[in-house]
Amino acid sequence: MKIVVLPRPSDVAAFAARRIASDLRTTPTGTLGLATGSSPVGVYRELALMVQAGELDVSRMRGFALDEYVGIPREHPQSYARVIERDVVVPLGMEPGLVAVPDGRAADLAAAAAHYESALREAGGIDVQILGIGANGHIGFNEPGSAVTSRTRAVELAESTLAANARFFADESEVPRRALTQGIATILDARAIVLVAQGEGKAEAIRQLVDGAVSTQWPATALRSHPDTLVVIDDAAASALDHGTRSRLASEDGRRPGEPGEP
């Protein structure tokens, strides 16, 4: 796992997008794994600018969303199907028919989960998976306690996740309590993973990811066994790392802490 600490959220977005774009250029008909939430929004914006400038073409790439709320209408502005369409498919010029989101409205959620896993397999797996991280260390909606062997399935969201997601909804009673999410094992199947985190609210989760014991209590720590994971964070998200860890990361990276560079 490689960790890069940069001063500002905008640096995180630009650095992560450059790395993702350089991977995507080698697999123009490959598959991109798509996180939602606020963390990757800047990354998608940077990628869209590259597409507009003619530096990147993702029109033949497949996309798979990480997760979807259960029970929310597809047309709801906060359904992940709509968010992916608005923030990713349209601005990046992806082909809508090539982008899949788990079906959180299915009557049979177990069948929808199995269908998603087989669609991922048939597509040949994910080349680059974009991830955010929850303040409680979740990746996708794999909340604390999720098995490292977990696959796509319906889950209950943790209370802290419900509280964090409430900002996207007008009324607290509207916040979905369940989701259909790729499992930890599904995420670890991706050939490359780029996780972005910004802000002090993520600092403890990042400390656990970088320096804590590998534990299902902090689901993101499973990424430590993945051969190609890049973690790009801003100073605020790095603020709980001790000084020794920050110096070690900077010297491994050959840059001073916070100095931007090539991915």
CB of 195 to ligand F6R, least distance (A): 9
Angle CA 159–223–234, to nearest 5: 75
Residue with tokens 């992916």: 84
Residue with tokens 């014991």: 213
Cβ proximity to ligand F6R, 83 vs 98, nearer residue? 83
CB of 251 to ligand F6R, least distance (A): 29
- Which amino acid would we find at residue 94? M
The pair of structure tokens assigned to 162 is: 């419900």
- How does DSSP assign 167-202, residue by residue? GGSSSGGGS-SEEEE--HHHHHTSSEEEEEE-SGGG
Q: How far apart are the first and last CA of the chain?
A: 13
CB of 53 to ligand F6R, least distance (A): 26
Q: Which single residue brings its beta carbon nearest to ligand F6R?
A: 132
Burial class (CB in 10 A: 0-12, 13-18, 19+), 2: middle
Residue with tokens 């798979």: 64
Cβ proximity to ligand F6R, 58 vs 205, nearer residue? 205
Cβ proximity to ligand F6R, 157 vs 210, nearer residue? 157
Decide if 67 is catalytic: yes
Decide if 138 is catalytic: yes
Cβ proximity to ligand F6R, 10 vs 248, nearer residue? 10
Annotated catalytic residue: which of 127, 136, 165, 189? 136
Annotated catalytic residue: which of 11, 46, 67, 235? 67
Cβ proximity to ligand F6R, 4 vs 187, nearer residue? 187
The counts of H helices and E strands in the chain are: 9, 10
- Which stretches of the chain bind ligand F6R, using CB under 6 A? 35-39, 66-67, 132-134, 138-141
Decide if 136 is catalytic: yes
- The span from the CA of 260 to the CA of 248, in Å, is 16
Annotated catalytic residue: which of 138, 142, 234, 235? 138
CB of 253 to ligand F6R, least distance (A): 24
- Which amino acid would we find at residue 51? V
The answer to whether 79 and 65 are in contact (CB under 8 A) is: no
- Which amino acid would we find at residue 206? I
Annotated catalytic residue: which of 103, 143, 234, 235? 143
CB of 143 to ligand F6R, least distance (A): 10
Catalytic residue positions, numbered: 67, 136, 138, 143
